[in-house]
Amino acid sequence: MSSVGVIRTALRLGACASRRLGVASPLGSPTSSGAHARLPRVVGGALFPSPRFASRASASADGADFPDASGSVRTIRVTRLSGSDVGALSDVLLSLGATACVVDDADVGTAREEEVFAGDDKVWRACNLVAYFPDDADVAAIVSDAEQILDGKIAHRRETVPGDDWVGVVMDAFEPTKIRDGVWIVPEWRVADHTREHPDAALNVVLEPGLAFGTGEHATTRLCVGWLHDRAEWLRGKRVVDFGTGSGVLAIAALLVGAERAVGVDVEAQSVQAAARNAALNAVDDRLRLVEADGSDDAKLPAEVFADPGADLLIANILIGPVLALENLFARVVAPGGKVCLSGVLATQTPSVLERYRKHFDELVVEEEDGWAVVSGVRNERDAPREDVAF
């Protein structure tokens, strides 16, 4: 599921660019957590400090680099911040020199926990915010300036994370993700240990986590990878289009279980780059073509997407809006008798997907997990003339 994120940044600590979250004035309460801040995961353009729930983030607008892995990182941690106040505080801290602000759900692990995913236009009711600064930053003075600008006290805790600890925390945050028996998504640096522990795994998709959406932690990724694995026999020798490729996980999984070739399409250049690296990690880069496009202009898609007789499978783990808007394009891409597999869709949204897709796809089936769904079907013979796409 790829989407325009709040921050585009590399796990390799490259330059950052931002889209700000807006709003009012901050409050907060001191944290009782340990000495070291938990550092972010970078997924779908948004930062994820916990395995299951998306975080919101911003980065300095001037494109300042994230702190170098060899040096320490200074942080300001604010807890129990109202979601409506996140934008103002993060904007002020960024303007005062923060290299990034990371926000997650203050109610995680409780009955009030909320799922907010990359692409959502909201934050949690109560948030924890961590702002990151270079090692030489005068954090006390920065807090004082922020309080003057916002006309209020900021209850916070200041911390320093040594460079070695910082890198270790990031890497330790990623564990192999079990999709189902014998099917795993494995972080690059966990491959050796995982192979020893699970020598009989039928499918291991190796990823460099954090660069784009699709690390296996979201139900839609698990649904789609499981769907592919269940159809491994059918996929042998097939041509696949992965629309909204993100980390490339679905195209790579399709190739690993037997597809002949795949094309991955994503609106984000960062996702295309991430997918290319992940394809190389799985030794399928010679069979995966990647392109940056959003589906609104056929000219930006490679000719092989429309090559006769059509793709055997189009898989798209995106959001409900693009799923509905791109039906006609997907129908033109898939060969008669070929399949479509759609996710990024809440279970409650499946009726609109079924209604939209039944014109060009038969045998529509819905599978669900954790409130999310995958919808699949078989392309019929009805024509699908080109039409303009409006998201």
CATH number at residue 312: 3.40.50.150
Q: Are residues 191 and 310 in the same domain?
A: yes
Residue 390 lies in a domain: no
Q: Are residues 258 and 306 in the same domain?
A: yes
Write a three-state SS string for 161-186.
Answer: ECHHHHHHHHHHCCCCEEEECCEEEE
Ordered DSSP codes for 295-340: SS-GGGS-GGGG-TT-EEEEEEE--HHHHHHTHHHHHHHEEEEEEE
Q: Are residues 91 and 158 in the same domain?
A: yes
Q: Are residues 26 and 89 in the same domain?
A: yes
Final residue belonging to a domain, choices 172, 196, 222:
172
Final residue belonging to a domain, choices 172, 199, 233:
172
Residue 387 lies in a domain: no
User: Percent of the chain at pLDDT above 90?
Assistant: 39
3-state secondary structure of 96: coil
pLDDT at 339: 98
Q: What is the pLDDT of residues 290-303, one digit of tens each?
A: 999 988 888 889 88
Q: Are residues 25 and 113 in the same domain?
A: yes
Q: Are residues 62 and 191 in the same domain?
A: no
380 vs 94, more confident:
380
Residue 15 lies in a domain: yes
Q: How confident is the model at residue 184 (pLDDT cuts 50, 70, 90)?
A: confident
Contact between 128 and 77 under an 8 Å Cβ cutoff? The reply is yes
Q: Are residues 338 and 206 in the same domain?
A: yes
105 vs 28, more confident:
105
Residue 168 lies in a domain: yes
Q: Is the pLDDT of residue 138 over 90?
A: yes
Q: Are residues 244 and 339 in the same domain?
A: yes
Q: Give the range among 40-44, 286-290, 294-298, 377-381 with minimum mean pLDDT.
A: 40-44
Q: CA-based Rg of the chain, rounded to a whole angstrom?
A: 22
Domain that holds residue 306: 177-379
Rounded to an integer, the average pLDDT of 244-265 is: 93
Q: How confident is the model at residue 191 (pLDDT cuts 50, 70, 90)?
A: confident
Q: Is the pLDDT of residue 47 over 70?
A: no
Q: Are residues 148 and 233 in the same domain?
A: no
CA 202 to chain centre: 25
Q: Is the pLDDT of residue 122 over 60?
A: yes
Rounded to an integer, the average pLDDT of 106-111 is: 81
**Averaged confidence pLDDT in the chain:** 76
Rounded to an integer, the average pLDDT of 219-232 is: 91
Instruction: Give this prediction's pTM.
Output: 0.62
Q: Give the range among 38-52, 189-203, 268-282, 318-332 with minimum mean pLDDT.
A: 38-52
Q: Are residues 151 and 234 in the same domain?
A: no
Domain tally for the chain? 2
170 vs 84, more confident:
84
Token pair for 21: 């979250």
Final residue belonging to a domain, choices 172, 202, 220:
172
Q: Are residues 140 and 189 in the same domain?
A: no
Q: Is the pLDDT of residue 175 over 80?
A: no
- Number of neighbours of residue 340 by Cβ within 10 angstroms: 25
pLDDT at 30: 29
214 vs 260, more confident:
260
3-state secondary structure of 54: coil
pLDDT at 169: 57
Q: Is the pLDDT of residue 141 over 90?
A: yes
Q: Are residues 198 and 307 in the same domain?
A: yes
Q: How confident is the model at residue 335 (pLDDT cuts 50, 70, 90)?
A: very high
